[in-house]
Amino acid sequence: MSKEFSATASGWSTYQRLLVYTKQYWRLLALAILGMIAAGLTEVAFAALMKPLLDGSFVNRDPATIHLMPLLLLGVFAARVIAEFASGYGMAWVGRSVIRDLKRDVFDHVLHLPVRYFDHVPGGEILTRLNYQSEQVSEAASSALTTLIRDSITVVGLLIWLLILSWQLALFIVVLAPILVVLVWSISRAFRRYARRIQDSMGQVSHVAEEVINGHRVVKLYGGETFEAARFATINALNFKDFMRMQAVSALSSPLTQFVLALGIAGIVWFATTGDRMHSISVGTFVSFITALSLMLSPMKRLIGVNSVLQRGIAAGESLFGLLDEPREQDAATARRIERVTGQIRFEGVGLRYHPANQTAESVSALAPWVLSDITLTIAAGQTVALVGRSGAGKSSLMASLPRFVEIECGVIRLDDTAISDFKLTDLRRQFAYVSQDTVLFNTTVAANIGYSDGGHEDRARVYAAAKAAFAFDFIEQLPQGFDTPVGENGVLLSGGQRQRLAIARALYRDAPILILDEATSALDTESERYIQAALENLSRGRTTLVIAHRLSTIEHADMIVVLDHGRIIETGNHRDLLVADGAYAALHRLQFSRAALPEVRA
């Protein structure tokens, strides 16, 4: 019971929030509503005109009526043109504006959601909310509003007119209405059921197709064609069946309701023509009555279905506003503006846990394991520090805590003596350049990708310099349009090594005081790696550099090597000292050395 109550309550609050979006368009909305009212009234007027039209012109041959009628008819339809346009166009304007504003707000919100959110919510779900649900909520709201205003005015107006014409005839409605309501209601329920199934099977059709398209090489190599074709055929057939069922309902619905209406009309004809009623009911009354009755049919159908439209809109609205209610990344109240740090980093007793999807630091279960604990480390400005450890040791998490992609739970991290939580987020993040194993490139030109930190206003001279230092200049020159070549979706038109060098050029272009390299070279072959190693040396000159590297050979010259295990620092020192100490680093080193001796095995 309480659940039902809360559903209506949140439905109401969804509606209110949507109303806020229409606020600035209230004049147009008011005009559209006026149009709806007028359009509803013209329907009633049309039915009402039938009586004087027939009785006055054709039966009584009254000259005044004969002159007036054509004009009145024209007047009604002219008013209808204006009313329909005002309501249709006005409502569409308001609706599309709301959709545009909703999309803008959702997109803006998504830009400012914490990294944590993206870890837990699938990208497709966020896209659906942005694209589809913003349309749904607004379309449902405008069509429901139109129905509630225009159709209820039409139905009520016509009912009143029926009563005025003849209350005895109007009694037929009492019999007819429940049958119609039940019929229309069950038709629309079947409709909804098939519509949902069709949506599902459409989704499956595109899902299977997408898998095949993305995995076409695997399909070809492993001979999956027959299997995939059969899988697709099953879903395709199901989709066909659902569509035909829906079509059956749709093709039957209109003649069936008309049949019920005909039953009513037959009854009315019978009633009106038997006994002495023949004389009390004029031709005009009769035709006007039948006209009014048939005009009621469609608005009644819509009114019966309006609840499901509303429900659909509310469901979409709840999920959409749910996204908008997700907390954004916030600057601390005391956040300070900082231009550029020198690059000294201090970790003081840092501890970190990842929280399950719907838990915050306050409510975290005791079971969430510590990914980092008790990390205390000082890195001088300009130093190169390597992080070493087994996979899962917490290296990436430690790096991610610096630009506050994840929030540490205890301890402090300081840049130049200022706690990173005291920075404005934008200022903090400006201090870093970041290259990781999986490069992200945007579907734009090479130059725009390199100069991404200048958001479309990249400085060409600096782009060239960055490309040169990243050993990317030569291959970029060879591309069909040089620096203006589009790289394709996530750089598919480039090789892995080329993508990596673009990522390094992008980091160089940014010219940040601190550089983070998270296994930036581990996906590469030795040839590309040699280039990239040289590029990285260019990159790290004059900056504080934090390197996570798989291959220990690449970090032997680091000023300091930090060995992490299970989220704790177990050793620090330079290469030579750590080898002499003969601890964990020395063991790792021996392991890699012996592996390197085996052919085809990469560390």
Ligand X SMILES: Nc1ncnc2c1ncn2[C@@H]1O[C@H](COP(=O)(O)OP(=O)(O)O)[C@@H](O)[C@H]1O
Spatial contact of 284 and 51, defined as CB atoms under 8 Å apart: yes
Q: How far is the CB of 116 from ligand X (least distance, A)?
A: 7
Q: Of 266 and 591, which has the nearer Cβ to ligand X?
A: 591
CA angle 469, 471, 473 (to 5 degrees): 95
- Applying CB under 5 A, which part among 36-44, 47-55, 395-403, 569-577 lies near Mg ion? 395-403
Q: How would you classify the pairing of strands 384-388 and 544-548?
A: parallel
Question: Which residue stretch of 66-74, 300-308, 328-336, 394-402 sits at the interface with Mg ion (rule: CB under 5 A)?
Answer: 394-402
Task: Name the segment binding Mg ion (CB under 5 A); options: 310-318, 352-360, 388-396, 537-545.
Answer: 388-396
Among Mg ion, ligand X, none, the one that 313 touches (CB under a kind-dependent 5 to 8 A) is none
488 binds, among ligand X, Mg ion, none (CB under 5 to 8 A by kind): none
The interface partner of residue 232, options being Mg ion, ligand X, none and the CB cut-off 5 to 8 Å by kind, is none
Closer residue to ligand X (CB): 424 or 566: 566
Closer of 75 and 114 to ligand X (Cβ) = 114
Question: Reduced to 3 states, what is the DSSP secondary structure of residue 265?
Answer: helix
Q: How far is the CB of 110 from ligand X (least distance, A)?
A: 18
Residue 392 site contact among ligand X, Mg ion, none (CB < 5 to 8 Å, cut-off depends on kind): ligand X
Least distance to ligand X, CB of residue 598, Å = 23
The pairs formed by 14-22 with CB atoms below 8 angstroms and a separation of 24 or more are 14/137, 14/313, 14/314, 14/317, 14/318, 14/321, 15/141, 15/314, 15/317, 17/317, 17/321, 18/98, 18/137, 18/138, 18/141, 18/317, 21/98, 21/101, 21/102, 22/94, 22/98
Contact partner at residue 119 from Mg ion, ligand X, none, CB < 5 to 8 Å by partner kind: ligand X
Q: Which is nearer to ligand X, 379 or 393 (CB)?
A: 393
Q: Which is nearer to ligand X, 295 or 503 (CB)?
A: 503
Which range binds Mg ion by CB under 5 A, 308-316, 389-397, 485-493, 553-561? 389-397
Binding partner at 178 among ligand X, Mg ion, none, C-beta below 5 to 8 Å by kind:
none
- Kindly report the number of other CB atoms within 10 A of residue 443's CB atom: 13
Q: Structure tokens of 271?
A: 């009633």
* Tokens encoding 65: 């009526």
Compare residues 274 and 391 and give the one whose CB is closer to ligand X. 391
396 contributes a contact to Mg ion by CB under 5 A: yes
Mapped to the 3 state alphabet, what secondary structure does 272-322 carry?
A: HHCCCHHHHCCHHHHHHHHHHHHHCHHHHHHHHHHHHHHHHHHHHHHHHHH
By a kind-dependent CB cut-off of 5 to 8 A, residue 394 interacts, out of ligand X, Mg ion, none, with ligand X
Using alpha carbons, select from 420, 388, 403 the residue that is nearest to residue 549.
388
Comparing CB distances to ligand X, the nearer of 369 and 455 is: 369
Residue type, 118: F
For the bound state, the minimum distance from the C-beta of residue 566 to Mg ion, rounded and expressed in Å, comes to: 14
From the CB of 522, what's the least distance to Mg ion, in Å?
Answer: 10
Of 345 and 399, which has the nearer Cβ to Mg ion?
399
90 binds, among ligand X, Mg ion, none (CB under 5 to 8 A by kind): none
**In the complex, what is the shortest distance from the CB of residue 508 to ligand X, in angstroms, rounded to a whole number?**
24
* Nearest distance from C-beta of residue 544 to Mg ion, angstroms: 19
Of 395 and 575, which CB lies nearer to ligand X in the complex structure? 395
Sign of CA dihedral 452, 458, 462, 467: positive
Residues that bind ligand X (CB under 6 A): 119, 354, 371, 389, 391-397
Amino acid residing at 338: I
Pick 394 or 497: Cβ nearer ligand X: 394
Structure tokens at 370: 């510590």
- With CB under 5 to 8 Å by kind, the binding choice for 397 among ligand X, Mg ion, none is ligand X
Q: Which residues contact 136 (CB under 8 A, 6 or more apart)?
A: 312, 313, 316
Q: Which does 563 bind (CB under 5 to 8 A by kind): Mg ion, ligand X, none?
A: none
DSSP letters for 170-221: HHHHHHHHHHHHHHHHHHHHHHHHHHHHHHHHHHHHHHHHHHHHHTHHHHHH
CA nearest to 343, candidates 431, 420, 433, 419:
431
Quote the least distance from Cβ 396 to Mg ion, whole Å. 3
Q: Measured from the CB of residue 438, what is the shortest distance to ligand X in angstroms?
A: 13
Cα→Cα distances 72→66, 69, 155, 345, 532, Å: 10, 5, 22, 85, 84
291 binds, among Mg ion, ligand X, none (CB under 5 to 8 A by kind): none
List beta partners, residue 423. 336
Q: Which long-range contacts (CB under 8 A, 24 or more apart) does 304-308 make?
A: 304/181, 304/184, 304/185, 304/188, 305/147, 305/184, 305/188, 306/144, 306/147, 306/148, 306/151, 308/188, 308/192
- Closest to ligand X by CB, 285 or 396: 396
Q: Which stretch binds Mg ion (CB under 5 A): 45-53, 286-294, 316-324, 392-400?
A: 392-400
- End-to-end Cα distance, the chain: 61
As a whole number of Å, the CA-based R_g of the chain is 36
Q: C-alpha 585: how far from its chain's center?
A: 46
The distance of closest approach from Cβ of residue 513 to ligand X in the complex, given in angstroms and rounded to an integer, is 23
- Taking a C-beta distance cutoff of 8 angstroms, is the pair 57, 69 a contact? yes
Report the nearest approach of Mg ion to the CB of residue 436 (Å).
8
129 versus 395: smaller Cβ distance to Mg ion: 395
Q: Which does 510 bind (CB under 5 to 8 A by kind): Mg ion, ligand X, none?
A: none
Q: How far is the CB of 329 from ligand X (least distance, A)?
A: 16
Please give the residue ranges that form the binding site for Mg ion (CB under 5 A). Answer: 396
